[in-house]
Amino acid sequence: MLLQKCKDAYKKEGVFLNSKSRLCELIRQIKADNPEFKQVYSQVLQNCADRLSKAYANFFRRTEQKRAGKKIRTGFPRYKKHFHSITYQFGFKLLSQRRLKVSKIGSVPIILHRDPKGKLKTLTVKRNRVGQWFAVFSCEVSPKKRAHPNADKKVGIDVGLESFATLTTREQISNPRYRVKTEKKLKKLQSRASGKAKESRNRGRAVRRLARAHQKVFDQRRDFQHKLSRFIVDEFGTIAVEDLNINGMVKNHRLAKHISDSSWDSFFQLLWNRLDTFLLLRKKFKVGRLI
């Protein structure tokens, strides 16, 4: 509805209502015309204005890049059938390790696997594709710099398909291949879902079973990469990896499935997030280059 208001304003008056303040004014008008929106907490609606404002900003940025000669899609903001997350800046409180109070919703049960540190700033309630709900807190903390225990140790990482990674210390990390190992089960579940009548309950149950199987593969892969990246970052102060053109590599139809299953890019991103002194080599990786 907010995006439609922006489009109508551009057609009638020729102006973009892309700033967050203008979008918030539109939200107030929408709430006045539609009383049912008063049941939603105001910060949640304002977050929708923030999302649309950022979508417009990204659209204008990509448009400028395309004019400069870069081959990219501009990507005008699109309608969203469903929102899978809502964000609170205020209106939430942790009552205990088991209860969370959220404005306009009430007290809900929660499993708090670790205590938030610092000052709570925002709460994002998310729902993934298999129906699991998560409460994500963002906290304001004072950064504490600490010396790396092995700051002088360096390592290079060569990723591959036979072995997930080979270090310059000659250590090899085997590739778990979670997607390939579950392929038969995924094909069977996909076949069952395809054979059900559309919009039937049986099809809905089959699709949820398939989604849970895919989610399990994702969780296994993510857990493996978290543990491996944590080990490497704690062991070495400087890390070098290849600068791979993964988008070009997956065009090889024989290797695309295995490359996607390895998910090197997300592994590199975890290393980047965990290590300040991170060297990204722009040349072909050579074993022993940093040692």
Average pLDDT, the chain: 83
In the predicted model, what is the mean pLDDT of residues 55-72?
A: 86
281 against 212, higher pLDDT: 212
Cβ within 8 Å of residue 90, ≥6 positions away: 43, 103
pLDDT at residue number 83: 75
pLDDT at 276: 55
**CA–CA gap between residue 198 and residue 284 (Å, rounded):** 50
Query: Cα(244)–Cα(102) distance, rounded to whole angstroms?
Result: 44
Q: Which residues pair with 127 in a beta bridge?
A: 133
Per-residue pLDDT tens over the stretch 102-118: 988 889 999 888 888 88
Mean pLDDT of 2-24: 77
Q: Which of 44-58, 251-265, 267-281 has the lowest mean pLDDT?
A: 267-281
Inform me whether the pLDDT recorded for 11 exceeds 80: no
Instruction: Go through 171-192 and write b for each residue having 16 or more CB atoms within 10 A of its CB, e for each that does not.
Output: eebebbebbeebeeeeeebeeb
User: Per-residue pLDDT tens for 168-181?
Assistant: 888 899 999 999 89
Q: Which residues does 85 contact at the CB level (< 8 Å), separation at least 6?
A: 124, 125, 126, 127
pLDDT value for 206: 92
pLDDT of residue 277: 43
Out of 74-83, 123-132, 218-227, which region has the weakest mean confidence (pLDDT)?
74-83
Most confident of 20-29, 144-153, 200-209, 254-263: 200-209
| pTM of the predicted structure, to 2 decimals | 0.75
The answer to whether 174 and 162 are in contact (CB under 8 A) is no
